[in-house]
Structures are given as structure tokens and as C-alpha cells.
Amino acid sequence: MGKKLFFITGGQRSGKSSYAQNLALSLSDRPVYLATSRIWDEEHRRRIEHHKAGRGADWTNVEEEKELANHDFSGQVVLVDCVTLWLTNFFFDSGSDVENSLKEAKAEFEKLMQQEADFIFVSNEIGLGGMSPNEVQRNFSDLQGWMNQYIAAQADEVVLMVSGIPVKIK
């Protein structure tokens, strides 16, 4: 196992997570699924439980809202799903402060990248959907776009998912 960084991005329901899960399983018989979502309401909790059950026993599930590097992933293949929900936690906690959220997320990403593990990051290209009339949504889109660029620049491989089809970017 080397230290490799994969970045899988695309629109909502583009096939990102399925592609990333298959990639992780091709690299390890016991990958780690690092879930970054907070449970916002009962419907969201049910959705998360459904996803967990669908992954099966091959996966080690770790839930972490922000401080991803607090876990030791040495020697493992780790699927981080997803950057968008992870950034939402920083953005929400900072009162929608884009600059502070980006600074904190980059710092946490850098700490995580110190570990000797293979990482697969899944993210959304929310900026493809057009500009929102809502200022908070525009600010979050900026945050998401800047963080995507940051991770993609460091990634060994970047894949854009389009209607379930992987398009290799890098």
C-alpha cells in the first residue's frame, strides 16, 4: 500500500459514492468508510442508517464530523464521504464564515494527509447548478469550490462523475 490520494467529484446522484466504494474495495478487502455527516433530523438519520446497512460487513465505519485526523488510519484505505457535508459542519459552526471555514478545513486536511494511508475523497460540484439568489448558499458554493480545487491540486487521481460515467480528469 502506498500513500495515494483520489478525488471523486460530480453532481448530486452522479454515481460518486458508488464509484468511490468500488474503488476502495478494489484496493482493500477491509476499507474504512469515514462518514462526515451530522444527523440533522430524523429523516436524515434514517438515510444514514440505510447507507450504513447497504455497505455491509466489509467496511469499518468511522463517523467524524470535523476532526478527521483524530483517527489513526495508518496502512488503510479510507473513503471520506463527503467533503460537502464535512465543510457544512465548519460553515455552520463558524456562523457561515467562509474564510475561517476554509482555513480550518485546509488545516485539518493537511493533518490527515500526514498519515500513511490511501485516501479517497468524495465531493460535490455544487457550482455546476448555477448561481443561487441566496447569499449564504453562494458563500457555501464558494467555500466548496475552493476546497475542491485545493484537494484536487494535491490528488494523484481526479475523476468527474457524469450520469454514472467516470471521466478521468487527472
- SS (HEC) of 113-133: CCCCCEEEEEEECHHHHCCCC
* Residue 14, helix vs strand vs coil: coil
- Name the burial class of residue 78, with classes exposed (0-12), middle (13-18) and buried (19+) by CB atoms within 10 angstroms of its CB: buried
CB atoms near residue 127 (< 10 Å): 14
* 51 catalytically annotated: yes
Catalytic entry in 44, 50, 51, 71: 51
> Which sequence positions are flagged as catalytic?
51
